[in-house]
Each structure stands twice: as structure tokens, then as C-alpha cells.
Amino acid sequence: MSRGSSGSGIVNFKNLLTKTEHYDKDERYMAISDLCEALKRNAAQANSEGVSTNSSSNYNTQLIDSQTERRICSAVLGLLDDSSNDVQTVAVKTLSVLLVSVQEEQVVEIADRLCTLVLDKSKSDLRDVYAIGLKTLVETVPSSMGNVVSHRLIGRLVEGIHGNAAVVAGASGSNSEEKASEEIVLACLNVLTDLLTRFGSSANSITLQHEALLNVTLSQLASPRPVVRKRSGTTIGVLATVISDALLHRLVDRLLEQIDRADGLGKSGKKRARNAHKGGGRTLASSDLRSADTRALIRTICTVSGTVGHRLNQAHIDRIVPIFLRFCDPDDAVAGDDEDLDNDEDMGDADLSGNGGVGDDADEAMKIELRESCFAGFESFVLRCPALIQPHLDQIVLSSLAYIRYDPNYSYGDEDDDSADDDEENEVDEFEEEEDDEYSDEDDMSDDEDDENWKVRRGAIRTLTAVVEASKHDPSKLWIAEYAWRKHSEKKATVASALINRFKEREENCRVDIIECFTRLLSYTVAAASSGVLFLASSSKCDDESLSATGVVVDLRTKASSAIVKECEKQLSAKKGGERSKSSAIALLSTLCLAPGGIGGLEQVTSVFRYMKSILDTDDDAKLRRQVMANSKSLKLEALCLVRIMLSCKKHRPADIKQALLPILLPEICQCVNEDWYKVIAEALRVIMEIPSLLVAGSATKEEMDNVANSLYTAIEPKLSEHDLDQEIKECALSASASLLAILHSSLSMDQTNRFFTLLLERLKNETTRIAAIKTLSIIAKAAQTNSDLDLSPIMNETLSQLSILLRQQSRAVRQGALECIDTMALCLGHESSVSMDDGLFDSVLKDLSDIVVDTDLHLCHVALSASNSILKARPSTGSLVKCHILPAILTLSKSPLLQDAALASLLRLLEQIVLSDAVSFDELRGLLAGLISEGGNKAGKQVISNIAECIATIAVVTPPSERESFIENTISAITGSLGNTKQLNLLVAGDLGRKVNLSAIPGVANSLQMIFLQCLDSDNEDTKHVAALALGRASVASMGTFLPGILSSLESSKGKKQYLLLSSLREFIHCCRETGGIALSSNIPLILPHLEKNCRNE
């Protein structure tokens, strides 16, 4: 930049700096805003020129001299304590831009100045602004300056915490001083957390202070201020991620020592604590933790375990879990339904707050928070160190099961049946504990607005979710192991049954978590069953042998399925149940569909469909509206997804699904196609797509099929004909029409069928829907091959014409789809007089197909050859066109060394059809193929010779027997009278013929060929030797009795290279037999195996 422009820039900055001192706050606001934008432009210009951070600073130094730079920094810092809040806000914003624009010296000065302002007790009113500025500096300063900035800040922040901690504790100073000191401590902890997060592991200045930081943050856990304790716990959690293992273990030990002094909560919790203290487990903590609050300590240990739980050792876990169980002992978990609810169940807990006694509400809130923190710790242990927590997992599960029902202030009214007869209890399944009037209007919860016990239940549920996640590879124990989860009750329940029983949870957040936890458990169980870890039994497929042969059996059909469906129905019908609960219930039912037996029999399917109807119904039925309050779009979408899964999962009896679907749900499904949201419309069309196959599987009557077909046509046709629709709807409408036409075409009228055909052709011509239309036509054409009453003649000409045009497109997906559709539709052409085809149509189609028969894309080549074969097979009269267009491309392709696999197989099938259709005579085609070797001379590769030999052998097989025998004799003569590639070609032709034709049935041929093959193994030409070995193995396939004994006897009498060649023949023989199914090979294994075992020992 020129000096003039540089000087102009400096003048502009000077003018702005002058305005920042203006008496009018609006002028100051405009000045700092303009200054911020100017700094942004300078930084952006430097970055656009690819300048690094340091050189960027140099660039700005050229534009802004060091004196002006210092003035800008001072002005921005001065505006941080401006009287206008708006000016302060922009000043902080400007600070973040300034930090990446100025030199390191100015950044350090800004850091020092901000830190001084934060620690200044006289700046209480603006301390928040300064703290935000310092946090902004830590977050935005370039990484290269991190160590320098950390060095200047870390010591002062630690000193600020130490210097003000005593005042905060109330040991000295006035109330105002205490408040100012508390603010300073909080600000220092806040900035320290950000500093550790960004530079804790990279800055040496912080690494050297790890121990000091640990001591000062631990000391703040003893602060009388709850907010200070909480903030220090957060800082310790971040510090734990960067300190060494030795310091981490010291940190955990000090926390556990202090927590160990707590008495616990509830009678059982206190008893646990007394037992631990009697056993010598109680120790005195360090002096700086003497007054620490138990909540803060547990919250801190939870934070540490959540971030670095994998670094803790077994000894730490073994100490932490028993301590946590003092505060969430299962025997202290009570519910309003418990008859023996103790009068002292306010739990008479010791005052853990350190405040010398607080009110009942505060004390209760403290207990809730304490238990919530313990379960958060359990959750993190289970997820992050599952191996270490394994010895304590049963205790954690028991505690979690007990506390998911922890609700002392509310009675559900259905858990008081323990006095029933033993016989009656045995008859009632553990899964089916019902409630009579869940979420009834009488449940007035207004008195419980301040009840926060749900937080404890939520923590217990999340712990169980972590257990399910940790057991996802083998969740069988959660279905089998039983726990006494209710206080003073001998009745036990598994984790699965307890979760089902708690679907009645009154707090929706907890209820949704419970349902989702069980859904996850069920999903993992189904996955484990599919991998063979356990066995999911169903009442229809269980026998003693299978049960005894399987390690673990979970019987869902007879125990859990009906209870799951019943509980989900309660959620769907609950008057006070929210949309999230209904959505979770639908998701659970969808997962249940994947298990053996699915949702159940006709009764369960009918019931579920009725609830789905109430969600999908669009009529203004007041009764239904009262049953299901939340008929949102997303809920309708989920309901349709469930119906589609039920129709397609194959776990239910099709007759049951059909019997329930047609009268209950079919009208609503068809009506959903007229909804506003495109996702609902598309999903409704997907459901419709499954219905035709269901009718066939469910043995529907002709009348039922006719009625359903008309209903489906009425729903599909408008969406298929409308153009201004979402792409997903268009594709789903095409898929639905394909299903309807392919399966229920006989139930549609001729006008309806022709209307569909007309719309399909329109969609085929449309660029956005052509691929979906091609797939639809392919499905319909495939169905027409086996259903003579599905006549495609009205659209055959135009469809093939359009598909031929699409073969010229650049899109590979379009070309592949068009080829596959032509291949399928060609087989529907029928005999010559059945469908009248346009003149020149096949000429155009075959010409376009010939352009694709190239080795650059062998898959498309394979499909094009298959389509050509289908056309020739359906219409032999096209033989001359095939000879004109396809045959030259075939001959060129045959010379390609890349030809293999599917493309080669399609080529062979087409050559067979060419001979069978008399499109080209055998002699002519053989001459053309053999001439390819003559043209190539000695340049023809082994793969090319092998491919052409297989082509010649293939067409020889389909010739008349007399002509074939004459060809074989000529081939034998050619072998003895030729050299080089021609000799190799004839050898392979003879071998491939022997693979397809029994040569021993022709007198003298098998023996002559065997002699020739064995003689060629002694040839001077190495290629001839290997070709002869392969030919001998292939010729043995159809004439085992003649060739195989000769191979085995020669193998015993030969040595060296010839023995290797004979083993190659045997390997080729086994390979070819395996391709044909290996049935004939099995009887010869006793002959072959000894020779192979013997030669395995040869070196």
C-alpha cells in the first residue's frame, strides 16, 4: 500500500479514536462500531492475501503504526466501562476482532489490563463486562500466543481465588466486600475453565501449574456459597482432562475421603454409612475440604467420572459405588402406593448443606439434587468404564429399578394388591400390572407443581438406559435376572418387566425416557437373536429340542408382547398423554413388529389398528378427538410408518392383518393421500403399495380384491396425474401404481388400466420421473410374463420407442434402467401375431443396443446383450436385424481381453439364440469367430483365445447332433494339424465341448481326445501345455468315466512338470464340477482324495 493511503488510514483511525471520547453516547457508539468494521476489513484483507497470523500483524503494522495501535487498544478497553450498555457490547465485540489484528505485545497488555479490572474490588458494577472481555480474549486469541497469554493470566487468576476465598467464607470484611470477593472468585473460576479448555494441554505455563490449580479449585469446594462450589466443580472437571494420572488419582482420593464422611440419606443409607465407618472406612480429609458440601463433592466426582471415567482404576470404582449407594439405597425408595410409608420418610437426614439447618423445602431439594447426581455418576461409570463397574452392576440396577418408582407424594392406586391369594398371584403375569384409570381427569396434579422427585426418577431411568446400552451385545440378563424392586415386598421383577410396569409414569419426560429405554432394549434383543447370541421364542415355533439346544431363551410371545401392546394402547388413548408419549409408544410397537410373533394375533392387531385410525381420522368426531388429542402431522406420519411395518414385516398372519385392515383402516389410509404435508402423503402411498401383496397372501376373495383395487385406484390416480407435486410423492405414486397393476390388474377395469398406462408413459417422458417410471414399467412387465391377462400391447410400441431414445442419454442410471426395462418388456411381446409392432422399431432399438455392446462398461454391456437376446427369443423374425447391428459388436467384444463374468455369460446365451433362431448359420458364425484368432495372429492373448473357444463350443452344442459330431471330428483333425494359437483354440474348443456334451457317447472320440491331450502335455510350447491341461480337465466333466481314470493313472506315473500339469487338469475338473453343482463329483471323491493327499507331501 502506498504511503498516502497508509497515512489516510491512520487519519481515519485517529478521527474515530477522537469520537470514542465524545460526550454523546450515540457518537461513541457510532465511533466504536465504525472502528470495529474497519478492523474487520483490515483482517479480512490480510487473510485474503494468504498471510499468516504473524505476517498479518506485520501487514497491519504497516497500515497502523504501533502508537495508533496502542491508542486503539486503550480506547476499546476504556469503553468497556462506558456508561452505555450498547457501547460496552460493541466494545467487547471489537475486542474479539482486535485480538487477531494487533501484535503480541498489545495482546499481552490487553490481557493484563482486563485481568486487573476483573480483580479490582472497586469495579463491581462492570466486573461482568470485564469478565466477558477476558473470556473473549481466551476464546479468540491466536493459538500461537496461547502460552504467553496463559503465563500472564494463570498466576493472577490463582492469586485472585486465594486472596478472596477467605473473605467469601465470611472470616473478614463487610457484606459488600464479601459480595465483591465472591464475584471475583466466580469470574476467575469461569475464565480459568475456558483457559484450561483451550490451552490446558498445550501451554507449558499451565502444565507447570496443574498441582497448584488442583489445590485451589479443591479448596473452593468448601466454600459456603453454593454457586462457588458448583463453579469450582465444573473447573475441576475440565482440569481432570489435562492433568496426569498421578494428580487425577490424588484428586479422586481427596474427593472420596471427604464424601466418605457423609452420613447418607434415609434410614438404609445412614445404616450403610455407619457400617462403613465401623469398618474403618471413615477417614479425615484434608483441612481445606473440612466444610465441603456433600452435593458439591458428589457433583464433582460425577463430573470427573463423566469426562475421564476411563482413566479411573478398580480401587476408585470400588470406593465410589458404595458411597453413592448411601444416598440412593433401594430400601429408601418409596412411592405413594407403599402401605408401610414411614412417618419419618422425610428421612431425617443430616444437614448436608453446611448451613446449620435449612427449611424443609430446601432440604428436600438438596436430597433430590444429591440423588440425581449419584445416578448421573452411575450412568457415566456404566457407559465409560463398563469393565470396572461390572462387580457393582447388580447393585446399580437394583437401585435404579427402585428409584424409577420413587414418588412419595403421589399414589397410582394400583400397587396395593400384595395381599391377594398366592394362587391368584401366580396366575397374574408379572408383565401385566394394569391401572384402571391412568391419567384420569381426577388426577389433579396442581398440588404437585413444586414436586421435583421426577428428577430422581429421570436419573434412575437414564442409568438403566446406560445399562441397556452397555448390554446391547447380550441383553438376555435384563430379561431373565430378577430383582426385588419394591420395598418390603418379596415379589421380584426383571428389568424388562419393571420398565413395562412403569409406562404409567405421570411425568411425561420420565415416561418417554422409560418407553425409549425399553424400545432400545427390545431392539438390541432382536439384533442379538439375529446374530445367534440368544433365542427369541414364539409360541408357534418352540419345541423342547430347540430350547435345549439354545443357550438363552427369551419368550416374548407368551409373556411380554401382549403386555407391551396393552401398555402402548394406554399411552395412545390417554387423555393427558402428550404427543411425545404417543410417538414413543408407536416407535415401540414398530420395534415389536421385528420380533417373532410381532404385535400378536387378530385381537392385538385389530386393537392397534383402531388406535391408528383415531390418529389418522380426519373427520370431526368429537369422541375420537377426546381419545387422541394430538393428531399432529408428525404423529400421523409415525402411525403410517407403523402400519407399513405391520403390513410388510412378515411376522403376523396375513389373514389377521387383512381382516383387521380392510374394515378399520383402509379408508383412512386412502384419505391420508389428500393430506397437506408431503411426507404424510408419500408414506400413505407406501402403505398402499404393500396392500395388494397382503391381499394375495391373506387369501382375499374376489369381491374384496375388487373393492380394494377400486379404493386404491381412487387414491393413487390423482397423485399420479398431478404434476405440481413433491418428487417423493411422484415416485411413491409410481411405486404404488406398479404394485396395484402387477398384482390386482384383474380387479381393475379396462379404462382404469389404460388410464394408468397413459400416465406411466407421461411420467416416462418427464425428465424428473423417468427413472421411477422405468422401474414401475419393469415391475409391471415382469408380472405380465406370468399373467396372460395383463396385456401391455396398448403401450408396447411407444414404451420401447421411448426406452430406445433413453439409451442415448449420458446418464448411466437412465441407460441402465432403460436397458433392464427393455429386457423385461421384450419377453412380453409374445408370438409374431399377438402384438403388432411399428415398422422400424426393432431396427432402432437394436441399433441403439449395439452402441452399448462395448467393453468400456461391462455391466451395461451385459444388460444390452441380455435385452438383445430377449428380443430375438420373443421375435425370431428380428434375426436379420440382430445380424446387421448386434453381430459386428459381438465379434468386436469377443476380441476384448476384459470380457468376463456376466457379460461373457450373456454373450454366450445370445450366440446360442442366434444359432437357434437361424439368424446366422453355425458354420458361418464359427468361421467368423475362428477368424478372429487368425486376424490377431500371435498377438491374441490367453483370455481372448479362451473366450472365443467357449463361444464356438457353445454354438456347437445347440447344433443338430450329426452336424455336431462332424464338427468334433474336424476339431480333432485340426488339433493334430495346426500350430500356435490355432492349435490352442482347437484344444480349448474340444475341452469346452466335453464340459457340455458327453464325448464318450460318440465312438472313438473320447479316447482320441484323451490321447491328444496327454501328448500335448509333452509339447515344446509352454502355452500349449497349459491349454492342454485345462482342456483335459474340462473335457472330463461330462465324461468322467473315460477321462478321470486316465488323469489319475497318468498322475501316478508322471513326475516333475507333467505331474504339475496333470494336477492343474484335476483342479480345473473340480472347479468346473463345482460350477454345475458338484453332484457328480461327490461319487468320485474317494478316487481323487488319496492322490491329492499323496501329492501334498511332494516338494
- pLDDT tens digit sequence for 396-438: 999 999 999 888 888 876 544 443 344 434 433 444 444 444 4
Nearest-5° angle of CA 78, CA 81, CA 85?
A: 120
CA–CA distances in Å: residue 642 to residues 601, 614, 626: 16, 14, 22
The pLDDT value recorded for residue 259 is 77
Nearest-5° angle of CA 349, CA 354, CA 360?
A: 45
- pLDDT tens digit sequence for 675-691: 889 999 999 999 999 99
Q: What is the mean pLDDT of the chain?
A: 80
Residue with more model confidence, 59 or 861: 861
Mean pLDDT of 358-381: 79
The pLDDT value recorded for residue 806 is 92
> Which of 425-429, 705-709, 942-946, 1074-1078 is modeled with the greatest confidence?
705-709
Q: Is 1020 helix (H, G, I), strand (E, B) or coil?
A: coil
Closest CA to 333 of 457, 433, 450: 457
Supply the DSSP string of 1072-1085, one letter for each residue: HHHHTTSHHHHTTH
Distance CA 127, CA 203 (A): 27
Note every long-range contact of 1036-1041, with CB atoms under 8 Å and residues 24 or more positions apart, other chains counting.
1036/994, 1036/1065, 1036/1069, 1037/994, 1037/995, 1037/1069, 1037/1072, 1037/1073, 1037/1076, 1037/1080, 1038/994, 1038/995, 1038/996, 1038/997, 1038/998, 1038/999, 1039/994, 1039/998, 1039/999, 1039/1000, 1039/1006, 1040/1080, 1040/1084, 1041/1000
pLDDT surpassing 70 at residue 471: yes
> Which of 145-159, 397-411, 853-867 is modeled with the greatest confidence?
853-867
Distance CA 218, CA 160 (A): 15
The pLDDT value recorded for residue 31 is 80
The pLDDT value recorded for residue 10 is 44
The pLDDT value recorded for residue 428 is 38
Q: Is 569 helix (H, G, I), strand (E, B) or coil?
A: helix
pTM of structure: 0.78
- Please list, in sequence order, all residues whose beta carbon lies within 8 angstroms of the beta carbon of residue 797, skipping any fewer than 6 positions away: 837, 838, 841
Mean pLDDT of 740-767: 92
Confidence of residue 447 (pLDDT cuts 50, 70, 90): very low
Distance CA 1026, CA 987 (A): 10
The pLDDT value recorded for residue 990 is 87
The pLDDT value recorded for residue 980 is 78
- How do beta strands 493-494 and 535-537 pair? unpaired
Q: Are 56 and 46 in contact (CB under 8 A)?
A: yes
> Which of 499-508, 530-539, 938-947 is modeled with the greatest confidence?
499-508
User: Around 527, how many Cα atoms within 13 Å sit in the side-chain half-sphere?
Assistant: 13
Amino acid at 567: E
6-20, 594-608, 723-737, 891-905 — which is least confidently predicted? 6-20
pLDDT surpassing 70 at residue 1025: yes
- pLDDT tens digit sequence for 771-827: 999 999 999 999 988 888 888 888 888 999 999 999 999 999 999 999 999 999 988
Mean pLDDT of 831-842: 70
With DSSP H G I counted as helix, E B as strand and the rest as coil, what are the percentages for the chain, rounded to 5? 70, 0, 25
The pLDDT value recorded for residue 646 is 93
Distance CA 49, CA 348 (A): 70
Residue with more model confidence, 311 or 888: 888
Tell me, what DSSP letter sits at residue 553?
A: E
Nearest-5° angle of CA 810, CA 812, CA 815?
A: 85
Confidence of residue 1079 (pLDDT cuts 50, 70, 90): low
Confidence of residue 889 (pLDDT cuts 50, 70, 90): very high
Tell me, what DSSP letter sits at residue 950?
A: H
The pLDDT value recorded for residue 741 is 93
The pLDDT value recorded for residue 484 is 81
**What percent of the chain clears pLDDT 70, i.e. is strictly above it?**
81
The pLDDT value recorded for residue 618 is 60
Q: Which three cell numbers stand for residue 339?
A: 402401605
- pLDDT tens digit sequence for 254-297: 888 877 765 555 555 555 555 554 544 443 333 344 334 677 78
The pLDDT value recorded for residue 835 is 63
pLDDT surpassing 70 at residue 576: no
Q: Which three cell numbers stand for residue 303?
A: 463430573
The pLDDT value recorded for residue 296 is 78
pLDDT surpassing 70 at residue 833: no
- pLDDT tens digit sequence for 126-147: 788 778 888 888 888 888 888 8
pLDDT surpassing 80 at residue 914: yes
Closest CA to 337 of 405, 403, 415: 415
Distance CA 437, CA 33 (A): 63
Q: Are 636 and 678 in contact (CB under 8 A)?
A: no
Mean pLDDT of 148-172: 79
Mean pLDDT of 1089-1098: 71
